[in-house]
Amino acid sequence: MMKQFGYNSLKSRTIDYKNINTTLISYIIKNEPSFSSCISCGSCTATCSAANLTFFNIRRLNIQIRLGEFENIRQEIDKCMLCGKCLLVCPRGINTRNVIMLIKKGLVTFNLVE
Partner 1 sequence: MNDLFIIAPFTIGLIILLGILIGKYVVWTIQLSQIDKLRILHGFFTVRTFRAIREIFWESLLHRNIWKTNPLLGYMHMSFALGWLLLIIVGHIEAYVQASSLSVPPWIPIFFRYFEHEHFYGARFFAHTMDVLLLYILSGVVLAYGKRINSKLFGIKRTTKLKPKDRISLIALWSIFPLRLFAESATAVLHGNGGFLTSGIVFRYLQVTPNIEYTLWVLYSCSLAIFFITLPFTRYMHIPTEVFYIFLKEYGIKLKKQFNSYSKIQVYSCSRCGICIDACQMHHAQISNNQSVYILKNIRDENLTDRKLYNCLLCGRCEDACPVNINLNDLRISQRIKSSKEYNSSYDFLEYSITEKADVVYFAGCMTHLTPGIKKSILTVLDTAGVNYLFLDKDKGACCGRPLMQAGQIEAAKKLIAYNRQQILESGAHTLLVSCPICYKVFRDDYELGQINIRHHSEYFLELLHNQKITIRNTQKSIVYHDPCELGRGCKVYEQPRELLQSIGTLKKVKHEKVESLCCSGSLGDLSLSMVERNKIKEQTLEVLLKPNPDILATSCPLCKKTFVKGVDIQVKDIAELVAENIQSN
Nearer to partner 1 among residue 32 and residue 62 (C-beta): 32
Binding mask 11-50 for partner 1 (x = CB under 8 A): --------------------x--x------------x-x-
Contact call for residues 76 and 61 (beta carbons, < 8 A) = yes
Contact call for residues 80 and 50 (beta carbons, < 8 A) = yes
Nearer to partner 1 among residue 15 and residue 37 (C-beta): 37
Nearer to partner 1 among residue 25 and residue 77 (C-beta): 77
Told to check if 84 binds partner 1 by CB under 8 A, we report: yes
Where on the chain is the footprint of partner 1 (CB under 8 A)? 31, 34, 47, 49, 52-54, 77-85, 87-89, 93, 95, 97-98, 101, 104-105, 107-108
